[in-house]
Amino acid sequence: MKALIRFFSLSLAAATLVGTAAFAKAPTDAMGPELWSEAMAARAVHANAVKNDRYMVVIDYRRHSSEPRFFLIDMESMTTDEYLVSHGQGSDGDHDGIADTFSNISGSRMTSLGTFVTAETYYGKHGLSLRLDGLDEVNSLARDRAIVIHGADYVYGGGKKIGRSWGCPALERAVAEEMIPRIAEGTLIYTRGPELDAKLYAQIVNQAG
């Protein structure tokens, strides 16, 4: 049954990618004005790291894993598409679909927060994958920890929750295959956790006013 659900989910994901523009939302409608303001402030803080300015990604880990919480923003049309994304096993020890613990420590299998920038692509055990570089102290070991964007069979819609990664923001396979080439090499990714820590997000808070 799970295999059948995954099959239909992948088919739906592929179909969604074809017709997604017709249903795309404005960023503030998709994620809310507060989160969008934070993300744009993070983009301003890390402007020098942005080499691919066509797109931007925002991930809201405050949402349940069964909800779309990976927002891909087209900065030209200012439209947003929403996708499922996993969080780390260590961030959700009781596997209830909520990420409530975050870390930058190798071996923790936890999700890291903060701002990232996409780097090069490669083919690994999960197929086409995208390396990430952390831009903040709290995610500075992203590359060393092999925190990457990749596709995964355990990410699919229709269930009460999706599977967990070893800390990577994993996407549905069809979504990853289509999206990764577009956002590689310098797209900013802003990730938000349950609380807006004043120290952690000090630059962003100041920038946003």
Report the CATH number that the domain containing residue 25 is assigned in CATH.
2.40.440.10
| Nearest residue to 192 via CA among 41, 52, 26, 23 | 41
Least confident of 9-13, 125-129, 149-153: 9-13
Average pLDDT value for residue range 64-93: 98
Q: What angle do CA 83, 84, 87 make, to 5 degrees?
A: 135
Average pLDDT value for residue range 13-23: 47
The total domain count for the chain is: 1
Q: According to the model, what pLDDT value does residue 195 have?
A: 73
Q: According to the model, what pLDDT value does residue 200 have?
A: 62
Q: According to the model, what pLDDT value does residue 4 have?
A: 43
- 106-148 pLDDT tens trace: 999 999 999 999 999 999 999 999 999 999 989 999 999 999 9
| pLDDT at residue 177 greater than cutoff 80 | yes
Pair of tokens at residue 142:
């992203």
Residue 104 belongs to domain spanning:
2-208
Which strands, in side-by-side order, build the sheet including 79-83? 79-83, 70-74, 55-60, 188-192, 114-124, 127-134, 148-150
- 24-43 pLDDT tens trace: 899 999 999 999 999 999 99
User: Cα(123)–Cα(99) distance, rounded to whole angstroms?
Assistant: 28
